[in-house]
Amino acid sequence: MPSVQETNAEKKEQVVTNGQQEVASPPSVNPWPENVGILSMEMYFPNNYVDQTELEEHDEVSKGKYTIGLGQTKMGFVDDCEDIQSICLTIVKRLLEKTRVSPKRIGFLMVGTESLIDKSKSIKSTLMQLFEDCDNHEIEAVDTYNACYGGTAALFAALNWIESSSWDGRYAIVVCADNAVYAKGNARPTGGCGGCAMLIGPHAPLVITRGAKATYMSHVYDFYKPNLASEYPVVDGKLSISCYLKAVDKCYNLFKERLKRVSLQDKIDLDYFDGLVFHSPFCKLVQKSVARLLFNEFLADKSEEAIEKYRDCEKFRKIDIEETYFDKEIEKKFVELSKEIFEEKTKPSLLLSTEVGNMYTASLYSCLVSYLVSKDIEDIAGQNVLLFSYGSGMAATMFSISISSDGEEGSPLHRLISSISNVKERLEKRIKVDPKEFTKIMEQKEKVHGQAPFTPEVKVEKLINGTYYLDKIDDQHRRTYKRKPLGAAEVSQFHCALNIE
């Protein structure tokens, strides 16, 4: 892909001197760069997992409670040698290596997370280590958090930076990562761990639809972390589900109106979208959300065609929508009616969710990665995909992306998908851990949480090549990290990198 300067000849970068530091001046004309969106993506998930079927047996719960009831098959987790900062270091370094973008060409880097390990120092500041060798200290932004919504907040902050007078022609990186852990009990199987880093810029193969997003926010205690001495949240499960579904309702109806205006379409409905991708706390909630979209379409459409299409549903029109979140009859009916939509447009996005579990801020973007690698490139080229992001507390946004219609070999879309195509292979090569050992590891992490000084027992051989890990925490709580060296295969892969520039 050509550089920003090559593709925007009229925006040629001018360099001025400010002391000893070179500062790129902002573009001189046309403040609306074309096709801003995701140029490349990199996924992280732990090399360890526990099987949910085995966990059901270990926890002495009914068979299928986790696998059928939640829709989960495996859950990824880390031990005490990996933390949120090592995860972010790993994915940003991999993204830079795969794209071959010079670290000097990054002008904005924001981290969305809720896995805080410091109440003052940002994770982004730790990531600045990756830019020291090239002496790039002019990178805007810090961290943002609100439960699972932080990654989306970071994404739109990056987009706004590129489309503002602050933009100097460089790229942005958005990092979404979390370690989703719960206390022993019913909520623990809804955990997981993962991260996603995205390179953001113009002329992208995944274009964020400009001027069409819908946001819904409110003050709710459905999921929160008031105990700063613990990694575990306080969860009101039933309230959390109703908040999520309410946000789906509110965002979808507003988003359709916004998209109609931007796309100049007379009508926007589910037929307009080729893919439906959701934040996934657990897979069954996503399936219910697809049904919820169809339920909203039913309520909005009172035509004769709709009456025929939704036979036996007319009685549901009289029910207050606020009373329908746990209405089993409505849920069952619209899950049934939306089954084909779910299978075609959403189920392909749940690969990582079901295999790794909830990744909090990275969940939605892991689902986008799953969608991209689960279909043939000729099938996804030119598609419109709807995305829904939710974070407890609460904050939610619905938006869409347009996928490039050029899926030919060597095209930006082809190179993006090729760079994440090893996701399935990496899933298969993970190490399965017995539920007893998993429980033991979780108990050990509880004991050492917040401890300083601390030196974890690092079993480097269990880490994937190129993974950063926690080396030690000194008596001042300062953390240092090391990286497991790349093997010949990884070095060869990076030699065939995307070459964004």
Provide the β-strand partners of residue 470.
481
pLDDT in tens, 243-298: 999 999 999 999 999 999 998 888 899 999 999 999 999 999 999 999 999 999 99
463 occurs within a structural domain: yes
Q: What per-residue confidence (pLDDT) applies to 457?
A: 87
Contacts (Cβ under 8 Å, ≥6 apart) of 388: 247, 248, 251, 252, 277, 278, 279, 289, 364, 396, 397, 398
pLDDT above 60: residue 409: yes
CB atoms under 10 Å from CB of 125, counted, come to 14
CB atoms under 10 Å from CB of 10, counted, come to 8
Q: What per-residue confidence (pLDDT) applies to 26?
A: 45
Q: Which of 56, 243, 251, 279 is catalytic?
A: 279
Average pLDDT over residues 304-332: 90
Active-site residue flag, 477 = no
Bridge-based pairing state of the strands 468-473 and 479-483 = antiparallel
Q: What per-residue confidence (pLDDT) applies to 488?
A: 75
Tally of structural domains, the chain: 1
Residue 233 near residue 227 (C-beta atoms within 8 A): no
Residue 397 near residue 230 (C-beta atoms within 8 A): no
Average pLDDT over residues 15-21: 36
Domain range enclosing 150: 4-469
pLDDT in tens, 348-361: 999 999 999 999 99
Q: Cα–Cα distance between 376 and 431 in angstroms, integer?
A: 28
141 occurs within a structural domain: yes
Point out the least confidently predicted range of 24-33, 143-152, 403-412, 423-432. 24-33
26 occurs within a structural domain: yes
pLDDT above 60: residue 205: yes
Exposed e or buried b per residue across 72-84, where buried means at least 16 C-beta atoms within 10 angstroms of its C-beta: bbbbbbbbbbbbb
487 occurs within a structural domain: no
Q: Which of 42, 82, 97, 114 is catalytic?
A: 114
> Where does the pLDDT of residue 308 fall: very low under 50, low under 70, confident under 90, or very high at 90 and above?
confident
Tokens 């601390």, residue located: 454
Exposed e or buried b per residue across 176-202, where buried means at least 16 C-beta atoms within 10 angstroms of its C-beta: bbbbbbbeeeeebbbbbbbbbbbbbbb
- Say how far residue 265 (Cα) sits from the centre of its chain: 29
Alpha helices in 348-484 (DSSP H): 351-356, 363-373, 377-380, 412-420, 423-428, 435-448
Residue 401 near residue 209 (C-beta atoms within 8 A): yes
Q: What are phi and psi of 454, to 5 degrees?
A: -155, 135
pLDDT in tens, 80-138: 999 999 999 999 999 999 999 999 999 999 999 999 999 999 999 999 999 999 999 99
Active-site residue flag, 81 = no
pLDDT above 80: residue 1: no
Strands (E), 181-312: 192-201, 206-208, 214-217, 223-224, 234-235, 275-278
pLDDT above 60: residue 29: no
pLDDT in tens, 438-497: 999 999 999 999 999 999 988 888 999 999 999 999 999 999 999 999 887 766 666 555
Average pLDDT over residues 221-244: 94
Bridge-based pairing state of the strands 431-432 and 21-24 = unpaired
pLDDT in tens, 142-177: 999 999 999 999 999 999 999 999 999 999 999 999
CATH number of the structural domain spanning residue 369: 3.40.47.10
Average pLDDT over residues 332-343: 96
Residue 94 near residue 466 (C-beta atoms within 8 A): yes
304 occurs within a structural domain: yes
pLDDT above 90: residue 397: yes
Active-site residue flag, 114 = yes
Q: Which of 81, 88, 148, 243 is catalytic?
A: 148
pLDDT in tens, 47-93: 999 999 999 999 999 999 999 999 999 999 999 999 999 999 999 99
220 occurs within a structural domain: yes
List Cβ<8 Å contacts ≥24 apart for 256-263.
Answer: 258/211, 258/212, 258/213, 258/214, 259/209, 259/212, 259/400, 261/211, 261/212, 262/209, 262/210, 262/211, 262/212, 263/209, 263/212
Residue 490 near residue 499 (C-beta atoms within 8 A): no
Q: What is the dihedral of CA 251, 256, 260, 266, to 10 degrees?
A: -160
Q: Cα–Cα distance between 334 and 350 in angstroms, integer?
A: 20
434 occurs within a structural domain: yes
107 occurs within a structural domain: yes
Query: Helices 84-99 and 488-495, interaxial angle, to 10°?
Result: 50
Contacts (Cβ under 8 Å, ≥6 apart) of 320: none
